[in-house]
Amino acid sequence: MEKVQVEEQKVLLYDPQRCTGCRYCEIACTFYHFKLFDLEKAHLHVQFSEKNAEFEAIYCQHCDEPICVAACPSEAAIKDEETGLVRINPMRCIGCKTCTFACPLSVPWFNADYKISMKCDFCDGDPQCAKFCSPQAIRVATRQEAWEFNKKHYVEVLT
């Protein structure tokens, strides 16, 4: 199997200009993972930003150099070098929440039922949040596309 170049790895890309705030991405996520509709258990969250007057999605960026992985004392958070995805191994997680505190977006969340931290696992290659987002506010893109989009829409706006 040929190794995928980092720039070609698949990640989620969120465009706030397209988001309607329906939160169907959260519904699809919780149903896929837990077979119930509980927005608190979604691996991503849509919030309204009064500052920007638009919706923002808080979700795992599957960072190039994930701080959650470096901070995890039990080595439960790992980055797959082939896919670029950051995952939490539930068998190794001790529920200390260090990954949540270390993450700049506080994406990993503590599941009190299972007593472990959880986060986006890319739905085994078929992200339900993107699949069911009708305005395509969240979609699957290459890491290179995400870098370019984020630079244009977030970094350049601040400079």
pLDDT tens string 132-146: 999 999 999 999 999
List pLDDT tens digits, range 65-98: 999 999 999 999 999 999 999 999 999 999 999 9
* Strand 77-79 to 45-49 pairing: unpaired
Place 155 in a pLDDT band, splitting at 50, 70 and 90: confident
Q: What is the mean pLDDT of the chain?
A: 94
Place 58 in a pLDDT band, splitting at 50, 70 and 90: very high
Q: Are 16 and 137 in contact (CB under 8 A)?
A: yes
Q: Are 19 and 137 in contact (CB under 8 A)?
A: yes
Q: Any residues with CB less than 8 A from the CB of 68 and at least 6 apart, and which?
A: 77, 86, 98, 99, 100, 102, 103, 107, 108, 119
Enter the tokens of residue 84: 């670029």
Task: Provide the residue ranges of all domains of the chain, joining segments of one domain with +.
Answer: 62-119
- Over residues 101-109, the mean pLDDT reads 97
The CATH code of the domain at 62-119 is: 3.30.70.20
- Give the model's pLDDT for residue 158: 59
CB environment 80-97: b (16+ within 10 A), e (fewer): eeeebbbbbeeeebeebe
Rounded to an integer, what distance in angstroms lies between the CA atom of residue 7 and that of residue 118? Answer: 26
Residue 1 pLDDT more than 70?
A: no
Residue 2 pLDDT more than 70?
A: no
- Give the model's pLDDT for residue 3: 60
